[in-house]
A and B are shown apart, each in its own frame.
Chain A
Amino acid sequence: MHSDAFDRYHHGHSLIHHIDPRVKVILTLALIVSNVMLPDGAWPAFTLMWLVLLILNRVSGLGFWFTFARSFIALPFALAAITVLFSPQGNSVLSIKILMWNLMISDYGLIHFASIVVRSWLSVQIAILLVATTQFPDIVHAFKHLHVPAILTTIIAFLYRYLFVLVDEVLRLLRAREARSAAASGSRSAGGVLWHAKVAGNMAGQLFLRSYERSDRIYNAMLARGYQGQMHTLNPHHYHLSDWLTLGASSILIIILQWIGRL
Chain B
Amino acid sequence: MPISSSPIPVLPDSNGSVLSVKDLLFDYPDGHVALRGVSFTLKANDKVALVGPNGAGKSTLMLHLNGILQGKGLIEISGVRLTRNNLPAIRSMVGLVFQNPDDQLFSPTVFEDVAFGPLHMGLPEAEVRARVDAALEAVNMSAYRERLSHHLSVGEKKRIAIATVLSMKPQILILDEPSAGLDPRARRLLINLLRDLPISMLVSTHDMALVKELFTRTIVMDDGKIVADGITAKIMNDEKFLHEHGLEKP
B106 and A224 form a contact (CB under 8 A): no
The interface bits of chain A over 231-260 (1 if a CB of B lies within 8 angstroms of the residue's CB, else 0) are 011100000000000000000000000000
Contact A233 B106 (CB under 8 A): no
B232 at interface (Cβ–Cβ under 8 A)?
no
Contact of A158 among B106, B115, B125, B128 (CB under 8 A): B106
- The answer to whether B68 and A223 touch across the interface, beta carbons within 8 angstroms, is yes
Residues of B within 8 A of A140 (CB): 108
Interface membership of A18, Cβ < 8 A: no
Cβ of B30 within 8 Å of any chain A Cβ, yes or no, is: no
User: If A2-B151, A220-B68 touch, does A234 touch B108 (CB 8 Å cutoff)?
Assistant: no
Nearest A residue to B153, CB-CB: A2
Asked if A36 is an interface residue, CB under 8 A from chain B, the answer is no
Given the complex, which residues of A lie within 8 Å of B98, measured CB to CB?
217, 220-221, 224
Cβ distance B173 to chain A, nearest Cβ, rounded Å: 12
Partner of A165, one of B102, B120, B168: B102
Q: Decide if B108 touches A136 in the complex (CB within 8 Å).
A: yes
- Specify which of A162, A165, A226 is in contact with B92 (CB 8 Å cutoff): A226
Contacting residue for A164 out of B103, B109, B150, B165, CB 8 A? B150
A217 closest partner in B (C-beta): B103
Minimum Cβ distance to chain B for residue A169 (Å): 10
Contacts A2-B151, A165-B102, A221-B98; is A226 near B121 (CB within 8 Å)? yes
Pairwise interchain contact B148-A225, C-beta atoms closer than 8 A: no
Task: Select from chain A the residue with minimum beta-carbon distance to B119.
Answer: A232
Interfacial chain B residues near A164, Cβ < 8 Å: 150
B108 touches A157 (CB 8 A): yes
Q: Mark A104-122, 1 if CB is under 8 A from B, else 0.
A: 0000000000000000000
Please list the residues of chain A having a beta carbon within 8 angstroms of any beta carbon in chain B. 2-4, 7, 135-137, 140, 157-158, 160-162, 164-165, 214, 217-218, 220-228, 232-234
Q: Can you list 20 pairs linking A and B with CB atoms under 8 Å apart? A: A2-B151, A3-B150, A136-B108, A137-B112, A140-B108, A157-B107, A158-B106, A160-B108, A217-B103, A220-B63, A220-B98, A224-B68, A224-B96, A224-B165, A225-B165, A226-B88, A226-B91, A227-B120, A228-B120, A233-B112
